[in-house]
Structure 1
Amino acid sequence: MKKMMQRDSTWAGIFLLPNLICFLLFVLIPIVSAFVLSFMQWDMLSTPKFIGFDNYIRLFTQDEIFIQVLVNTLIFTACSVPMVIIASLLIAMALNQQILGKKFYRVLIFLPVISSNVVVSVMWKWLLVPDYGFVNYFLSWFGIAGPNWLTDANWSMFSIIFVFVWKNIGYYMLIFLAGLQGIPNSYYEAVEMDGGNAWHKFRNITIPLLSPTTFFVTVMVVIGSFQVFDIVMLMTEGGPGRSTSVMVHYLYQQAFRYFDMGYATAISYILFIIVLILTFLQFRFNKSENWSS
């Protein structure tokens, strides 16, 4: 028996070894290297120079653009997260009913998820062109003069948020749909027997029993919103001015346009800390809610 357990452990180690090697080479070592590099000044051509906490001090005391892109990222997250959650939940609830063609609608709403971010961004960039884009052309049918969606600072962030929400609601709709289908119909029947209406079902049954799903969706959308890059890069390149530039976009510019790799990695670790803190707070809040209930 002991020899069998040793043999199983050996084979388990052999099968796990490729994954461990990949994790070490492509995850752990780059993370540690980036952390060390954040204390360096390096332009990828000369020898890295250790400068201590200068990169982090520069971020918050000397770089006004970083403060602006940080605020832009927070605004983007604060707007996109509730929109994704609410829209995907409402659509999931609608498509959980016995309606004609619901499978077709599910596929239709999920299509943007499997589409490339590049394709989605280029498509919406053309649709939002002020002179001959379909969106402004459609608004003109109702006598509405559409704005410059991507070149007007008052509308550019809204446009980016809209595309992000449109791209992601299909995925989270499926997650909510799975959660809804896990709720027994007998609970809703009990509410009906007590004289409850649709609002009572939603407030007393759907929301409480769907809270684990909602928590998961919230965490994932928050992380995804802080990591948004390709939509911004392809649609506005952070403009006009810096009105749509977010942290990952600014990180990319510092690394591959200005070749300041040490500063870029410092930005990446600030981003990591922010996401880590927000995720931790969400877990603590969810835990306290569960204990109180």
Structure 2
Amino acid sequence: MKINKVYSYALLIPAGLIYALLFLYPTAVSFFFSFTRWTLTDWEWIGLTNFRMFFEESSLMIGFKNTFVFAFLTAGLKVVFGLLFAVFLTSQIKTKRLIRSTVFFPVLVSTIAVGIAFSVLMHPSQGLINQSLAFIGINGPDWLGNPNLAIYSVALVDVWKGVGIATVIFIAGMMSIPKDYYEAHQVDGGNKVNAFWHITLPLSRPAINAVIILALIGGLRTFDLVWAMTGGGPGFSSDLIASIIYKQYQAGFYGLSTAGNVILFLMVAVIVYPIFRYLNRKEVNL
């Protein structure tokens, strides 16, 4: 028995070494350098100065607000639309394989490419979106140039790109539900709406929880799409925490930006972990 236990642990050693090398070591180094003023060739210990300077950043409150709005808005929309698409694509429609491929296709496209493409599509005068709206008599807004609208425009693009992953997870969850439940419900005289509320939705909770957690983590850490579409502008109106950190890197404040990354890491952990624990307590087991 002891030999089998030792053998089992021995099999975990390669994975543990890779995990330590690619995650634990860089994380520890990042925490250390967040307390220093460093360059590629030298470093100086300065304690909590980087953290104090980071919280004195003029656009930080805008960044925090935008990050929370972006993360929770995109996570909520991905859950809603992903669930609706999954219900539709697990029904008895003939073209569901083609539609599944179409819904999932944006996931495969580079985020930077998506950002550049939608920057062109959302141009206030020459973009296809506003030209299409003008054709039916609607004066389209300046999607990315309006400070009150820019972050929401980027959020909608993020939902368009990421809803495919949510849909696939929901489809997998729904297909794992035993058909006997639906047959028994039908025998009892239930309709499809009742079947969704009383069978599909409760038993899809593990998939819903997974989508919520993944979407929240992705939303809180988002950088590339915002940077490709707005660069944090106009002004600082669409800045996120990650884009503020990147601007500090660009300016050569490596220690300051490392401290920002540590703060972002801790922020994601503090927000996501309690939600993860709460959702897991609410799961419905088959």
TM-score by length of 2: 0.91
Deviations 1:39-92 (A, max 9, x none): 1123x26732222122223333x2231222011100101211100110011001
C-alpha distance 54-286 of structure 1, shift in aligned 2 (>3 A): same
**Which of 69, 75, 85 is the matching residue for 1:91?**
85
Q: In structure 2, the residue corresponding to 1:64 is in which secondary structure? A: coil
Does residue 171 in structure 1 map to residue 165 in structure 2? Answer: yes
Does residue 278 in structure 1 map to residue 271 in structure 2? Answer: yes
Unpaired runs of 5+ residues, structure 2, are: none
Q: Which residue of 2 aligns with 1:52?
A: 47
- CA separation in 2, counterparts of 1:49 and 1:115? 42
The residue type equivalent to 1:32 in the other structure is A
Shift of 1:285: 0.8
Q: Which residue of 1 aligns with 2:22?
A: 26
- CA separation in 2, counterparts of 1:187 and 1:113? 33
Q: In structure 1, the residue corresponding to 2:104 is in which secondary structure? A: helix
**Which of 244, 250, 267 is the matching residue for 1:250?**
244
Deviations 1:206-254 (A, max 9, x none): 1110011111111111011111111111110000111111111111111
Shift of 1:10: 11
Does residue 182 in structure 1 map to residue 156 in structure 2? Answer: no
**Which of 253, 259, 264 is the matching residue for 2:252?**
259
C-alpha distance 204-130 of structure 1, shift in aligned 2 (>3 A): same
1:65-76 mapped onto 2 (5 Å cutoff): 65-76=59-70
- CA separation in 1, counterparts of 2:10 and 2:211? 37
Unpaired runs of 5+ residues, structure 1, are: none
Q: Count residues with an aligned counterpart.
A: 284
Q: Which residue of 2 aligns with 1:214?
A: 208
Shift of 1:137: 0.9
Does residue 159 in structure 1 map to residue 135 in structure 2? Answer: no
Shift of 1:169: 0.6
- CA separation in 2, counterparts of 1:9 and 1:68? 50
Q: In structure 1, the residue corresponding to 2:282 is in which secondary structure? A: helix
Q: In structure 1, the residue corresponding to 2:91 is in which secondary structure? A: coil
- CA separation in 1, counterparts of 2:193 and 2:46? 59
Shift of 1:274: 1.4
Shift of 1:203: 1.5
Q: Which residue of 2 aligns with 1:37?
A: 33
Q: Which residue of 2 aligns with 1:117?
A: 111
C-alpha distance 10-207 of structure 1, shift in aligned 2 (>3 A): closer
Q: In structure 1, the residue corresponding to 2:142 is in which secondary structure? A: coil
- CA separation in 2, counterparts of 1:290 and 1:171? 21
Shift of 1:28: 2.4
- CA separation in 1, counterparts of 2:239 and 2:60? 10
Does residue 130 in structure 1 map to residue 124 in structure 2? Answer: yes
Does residue 239 in structure 1 map to residue 233 in structure 2? Answer: yes
C-alpha distance 154-193 of structure 1, shift in aligned 2 (>3 A): same
TM-score by length of 1: 0.89
Identical residues among aligned pairs (%)? 33
Root-mean-square deviation over aligned CA pairs? 2.4
Moved more, 216-225 or 278-287: 278-287
- CA separation in 2, counterparts of 1:24 and 1:200? 48
